[in-house]
Amino acid sequence: MTKSNRLFETIQIFRSVDGPIRAEDLAARLEVSVRTVYRDIAALQAMRTPIEGEPGIGYVMRRGYDLPPLNFDEEEVEALRVGLCMLSRSGDRALCRAAERISAKIDALHAPADWLQVSPWGAPADDPELGCVSKAMLRAAVRDERVLRIDYMDGAGVRTTRDIRPIGVVYHINAVLLAAWCELRGGLRHFRTDRIYACEPTGACFAGQGEILRQIWSERNRWDLGARDLTGAEAAVETA
């Protein structure tokens, strides 16, 4: 989390509590050190944010302090709300937590809209207790162009260990696919994330190759040519 986002998040926490909050509690919620909280509080106070208190006692923010409104009209805000709620279908816990943080910021500046409801049913959640690999880890590997070694089980129940170069994440309604160059098969393949039972970086990178591989992958997967359901995606997965 960047410093600017952390300062914004700190203000949101102050707005959500009814009394003083200790630096230790702020640090736990922001997942930073207590010393970082002290520095952030000092930075906010220097920007004339009305936060009062002392280390060891707790901090409070005076009532009446508000942030500038988001520059969105009503329909744009509703579109954001629905889109954020639909992330619950992705099974990506890290994205869901991010969506909750964004929703809290929207709620702080706009009236709640409980009448907008989205069904949470969708792809399986990446629960580590069930042996599922974190989708956040897979997304990070795509961004950083890092080679991964995965333990994968296909639709026939055959398990293989292979090195892959992840280039994209595709969120279907009831499954999430990782698009990657597979060293074992020597070609582009799709892997259902709920069938990846182990994953670790090999230490190797494929810097500069990700964009080229994505262009080739995009030419072979033209979503604009017509709607595709998971059946088509399953066919790609079965040949992994």
User: Could you tell me the pLDDT band of residue 125, with boundaries at 50, 70 and 90?
Assistant: confident
pLDDT for residue 231:
42
Q: Exposure string (b/e) for 92-107, b if CB count within 10 Å is 16 or more?
A: bbebbeebeeebebbe
The answer on 178 and 112 residing in a single domain is no
Give the span between the Cα atoms of 111 and 222, in whole angstroms.
40
Tokens 């230790």, residue?
A: 24
What is residue 71's predicted lDDT score, i.e. its pLDDT? 63
Asked if the structure places residue 152 within a domain, the reply is yes
Q: What is the pLDDT of residue 69?
A: 54
Does one domain contain both 118 and 136?
A: no
- Asked whether residue 227 falls in the same domain as residue 161, the answer is yes
- On whether both 141 and 217 belong to a single domain, the answer is yes
In this structure, are 139 and 217 located in the same domain? yes
In a domain, 20, yes or no: yes
Is 67 part of a structural domain of the chain? no
Range with lowest mean pLDDT among 44-48, 141-145, 155-159, 213-217:
44-48
Residues 110 and 83 in one domain: yes
pLDDT at position 169, please?
92
223/169 same-domain check? yes
Residue 16 pLDDT class (50, 70, 90 cuts): confident
Same structural domain for residues 50 and 88?
Answer: no
Same-domain status, 55 and 83: no
The C-alpha atoms of residue 141 and residue 193 are separated, in whole angstroms, by 13
Q: What is the pLDDT of residues 181-212, one digit of tens each?
A: 999 999 999 999 989 989 999 999 999 999 99
- Would you state the pLDDT for residue 106? 83
**Residue 210 belongs to a domain:** yes
Which stretches does DSSP call E strand in the chain?
51-54, 58-61, 146-153, 159-171, 176-182, 187-192, 196-205
Asked whether residue 18 is domain-assigned, the answer is: yes
Token pair of 77, please? 């805000």
Decide which of 12 and 73 is more confident: 12
Residue 26 maps to which CATH number?
A: 1.10.10.10
Domain housing 36: 3-61
Same domain for 152 and 199, yes or no, is yes
Do 140 and 195 fall within a single domain? yes
Contact 180, 150 (CB under 8 A): no
Q: What is the pTM of this model?
A: 0.64
Q: In the numeric block, which tokens belong to residue 111?
A: 């009236």
Please indicate, yes or no, whether residues 20 and 55 belong to a single structural domain of this protein. Answer: yes
Total structural domains within the chain: 3
On whether residue 88 sits in a domain, the answer given is yes
Domain boundary among 61, 81, 96: 61
